[in-house]
Structure 1
Amino acid sequence: MIRRLKYHEIDFKKYSECLENSKQRKYSASKDFLDITAGKQWEILMYNNYEAVMPVPFIKKGGLKIVVNPKLCQQLGIFSKTDNIQVNDLFLDFFERKYNIWYYAFNDSNTFSTSLKQRKNFLIFPESYETVRQRYSPKRKRKLRLDEEVIAKSEVREVHLEEIWDFISESMIGTKNQEDKKSFLQLFLDFEKAGYLKTTAFFYNNAVINAVAVFYDEKTVVLLGTFNNKDFVKLSGSSVIIDDVISKNIENKVFDFEGSEVPAIEEFFRGFRPELVMYPVIAHSKQHVIKRILKVL
């Protein structure tokens, strides 16, 4: 009942229809998103005739496929009209038997009969902006009340990446090395060129001190990147621009913070009073993957 289809074998019309009509819909499982983040190094598992689908991205090492979620891709998993534990178990069994899995994240609607490790995400669901803002923590509301002097010297506006390229490059944190940073920056550029990404910046005295890179589709806005000048933390520019994006979109789109395992970032996100949503993952060490490969060989 579960079949593996390589990239060139996928009927993308049926695949997209399954995603869009699914209970678990996620922007990150779309063809465009995966083509940008994974190239054509992804395939799918299919249940019956696109009744349920599961995208599987991979990298190649020594001619072998190793499953790992690509950069900026938080959740994938199984997509179907209803989330069926029995069907999900079939996918999970096939997946674990047939693939070398380094790291794979299912989506927050997927349930299984066995227990998997859970990670955190934070979402604000569509509602009136006034209602959403009213729920912000007292601290976040204070941060959004800028001094008149700051207001007079500041501006929030959308920019193209190239306008603030040096700032983003210098303020990007969490990358392993220069090559890793370049690959992230290239992904942001590719999303912008494809029409999915907008960057909003906070300017103070005509200089950018904060920026957010946000992915947009028909139903979701996603915080893909935040960039800050640490010398101006007290001005709360990040809070202001995130609130600005929320105010313009939350009436009809989910706002996805993309979660974080870093306590300080989690605390910052929680100030906007989003809902905590857990999602299951499979995570193995490199040593585990190598041992599995050697065992199979």
Structure 2
Amino acid sequence: MIRRVKYHEIDFQKYTKCLENSAQQNWYAKKEVLDELSGNWEILIYDDYRAVVPLPLKKKFGINFVIMPLFCQQLGVFSEKDDIEVNDRFLQFLKKNYKVFLYSFNHHNSFSKSLDTKKNYTIPISDYVLLRRKKYFKGRKSTAKCAQHLIYKEIELSTEHISFIEKHFKGLQKETDIKKFRDYMNFLHRNSSLKLCAAYLEEKLINVAVMVDEHTQLSLLALINDETYKTENGPSFLIDKILNKYIHEKEFNFMGSNIRGIEIFFKSFGGELREYPCLQSRILKKLS
């Protein structure tokens, strides 16, 4: 039986235990992360927290809609073993009882009928030398090699670095979105989960990779580039250095993109496609 549980009714001890024992393991389903990114959310549960589905909510047009928060890629069903029958029940309950603007399941979730999908690319824990030799595109090897005059540094979250990120971050037009990203970086920093890696041309900061740093995974939130120095190939240099340093112990999650050029960039480092299902209202998409 599927049951809706509002935020103030959630047994967070059972919820957390379900997440920790789940086959899906996802940073974004954690209470503290959803509190930060959504603020307004509830859950669906199956058989006393045997499986859970976190649902972020946002009021639009005076109505509460299910919608993925900014900077949150995947949620979905969390259970000890992914079960198509249970997933189907959750999906039907979601369709029947909620107005869904956009909801992204995780790449482990399977359903009896096909849903729309979005693309993500990851690199599993690997030997860097073999990864570079066998899976890098030839052009990417060359580009990274040509950028070795740059300097790699891991930097702290400071006023100077926040200013660089805000100035050069593409894709965030609203001031409220920029503030949300700044707040999220501060949240990650407070929780010892933020990693900032940078490329310098002599003393000049030209690229910054903003990542969520988990125990077994690095997730790329943003790759910030000063376009004045585009010919220096800083993005290729930076990702290559990060993989060289960490891919032997941590999976690298590019956090996906449906933009062709960015998708090819991810694939050129040996990124493996992991599509994840999503539910989206076509009508609501037009109204957004």
Q: Within 1, Cα distance between the matches of 2:8 and 2:241?
A: 41
Q: Compute the displacement of 1:63 (Å).
A: 5.3
3-state SS of paired residue (1:145): helix
Q: TM-score, normalised on structure 2?
A: 0.93
- The within-5 A match list for 1:14-53 is 14-39=14-39, 41-53=40-52
Q: Which residue of 2 aligns with 1:129?
A: 128
Q: Which residue of 1 aligns with 2:139?
A: 139
Does residue 119 of structure 1 match 2:118? yes
Q: Which residue of 2 aligns with 1:295?
A: none
Q: Which residue of 2 aligns with 1:170?
A: 167
Give aligned pairs, total. 286
3-state SS of paired residue (2:209): strand
104-113 or 245-254: bigger deviation: 245-254
Q: In the alignment, is the contact (CA less than 8 A) between 1:83 and 1:109 conserved in 2?
A: yes
Q: 2:239 aligns with which of 219, 242, 250?
A: 242
1:118–1:288 distance in 2 versus 1, CA, 3 Å? closer
Consecutive unaligned residues in structure 2, runs of 5 or more: none
Q: Which residue of 1 aligns with 2:102?
A: 103
Superimposed CA distance per residue, residues 146-172 of structure 1 (whole angstroms, 9 cap, x where no aligned partner):
367x24xx3433232423122111111
Q: In the alignment, is the contact (CA less than 8 A) between 1:44 and 1:54 conserved in 2?
A: yes
Q: Which residue of 1 aligns with 2:220?
A: 223
- The within-5 A match list for 1:88-99 is 88-99=87-98
Q: Within 1, Cα distance between the matches of 2:246 and 2:130?
A: 13
Q: Within 2, Cα distance between the matches of 1:197 and 1:95?
A: 33
* Superposed CA RMSD: 1.9
- The within-5 A match list for 1:73-84 is 73-84=72-83
The one-letter amino acid of 1:244's match is K
Q: Within 2, Cα distance between the matches of 1:289 and 1:101?
A: 13
Q: 2:185 aligns with which of 180, 188, 203?
A: 188
Q: TM-score, normalised on structure 1?
A: 0.90
1:192–1:286 distance in 2 versus 1, CA, 3 Å? farther
Q: In the alignment, is the contact (CA less than 8 A) between 1:161 and 1:189 conserved in 2?
A: no
Q: Within 1, Cα distance between the matches of 2:274 and 2:286?
A: 28
3-state SS of paired residue (1:195): coil
Q: In the alignment, is the contact (CA less than 8 A) between 1:202 and 1:211 conserved in 2?
A: yes
Does residue 66 of structure 1 match 2:65? yes
Q: Within 2, Cα distance between the matches of 1:63 and 1:147?
A: 52
64-73 or 249-258: bigger deviation: 249-258
1:279–1:287 distance in 2 versus 1, CA, 3 Å? closer
Does residue 202 of structure 1 match 2:199? yes
3-state SS of paired residue (2:109): coil
Percent of matched pairs sharing the same residue: 37
Q: Compute the displacement of 1:53 (Å).
A: 0.7
Q: In the alignment, is the contact (CA less than 8 A) between 2:58 and 2:66 conserved in 1?
A: yes
1:247–1:164 distance in 2 versus 1, CA, 3 Å? same
